[in-house]
């Protein structure tokens, strides 16, 4: 065996392994979630559809929102977006509802799919916005498919 070859190859791999991680920008949670002078943004951990993403007109889609904030939360808004037009569906004042499984607050939101929805509409986007007392907010969106 050629030990010189293996030692040079090992050294080259070591240098490469140390150099590559320096090319990536590390995320900084604090920079992404704090505004100097205003406070902290709320954090949306997850937004999922409880009863699937396919619904008929007249049915109710249920959303499971998991969220938290260092600063006081004011309210949660649910908006529907149909054909690019956003409509406020509901505003829910903040009430603590700690979920031990996710270590977050939990809120189940209902979206009644309009029975008179235009037959040409096949997708509705549902956007949830968590708003803090300090006016900082965070949004998340899920889509439902409208079936006949």
Say if CB 68 and CB 118 are below 8 A apart: no
pLDDT number for residue 9: 73
pTM comes to: 0.76
Under the banding of pLDDT at 50, 70 and 90, the label for residue 133 is very high
Each residue's pLDDT tens digit, 60-101: 999 999 999 999 999 999 999 999 999 999 999 999 999 999
- Residue 135 CA to its chain's centroid (Å): 18
**Does the pLDDT value for residue 42 go beyond 70?**
yes
Which of 18-32, 89-103, 109-123 is least confident?
Answer: 18-32
Say if CB 59 and CB 147 are below 8 A apart: no
List the one residue out of 144, 112, 139 whose CA is nearest residue 128: 139
Question: Using H for helix, E for strand and C for coil, what is the string for 65-126?
Answer: EEEECCCCEEEEEEEEEECCEEEEEEEEECCCCEECCCCEEEEEEEEECCCCCCCCCCEEEE
């Amino acid at each position: 065996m050629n030990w010189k070859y293996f030692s040079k190859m090992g050294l080259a791999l070591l240098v490469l392994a140390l150099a590559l991680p320096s090319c990536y920008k590390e995320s900084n949670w604090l920079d992404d979630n704090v505004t100097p002078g205003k406070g902290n943004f709320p954090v949306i951990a997850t937004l999922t559809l409880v009863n699937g993403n396919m619904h008929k007109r007249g049915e109710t889609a249920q959303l499971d929102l998991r969220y938290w904030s260092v600063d006081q939360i004011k309210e949660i808004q649910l908006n529907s977006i149909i054909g690019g037009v956003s409509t406020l569906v509901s505003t829910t004042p903040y009430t603590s509802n700690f979920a031990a499984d996710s270590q977050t607050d939990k809120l189940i939101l209902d979206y009644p799919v309009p029975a008179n929805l235009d037959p040409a509409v096949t997708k509705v986007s549902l956007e949830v916005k968590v708003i803090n007392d300090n006016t900082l907010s965070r949004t998340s969106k899920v889509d439902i498919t409208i079936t006949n």
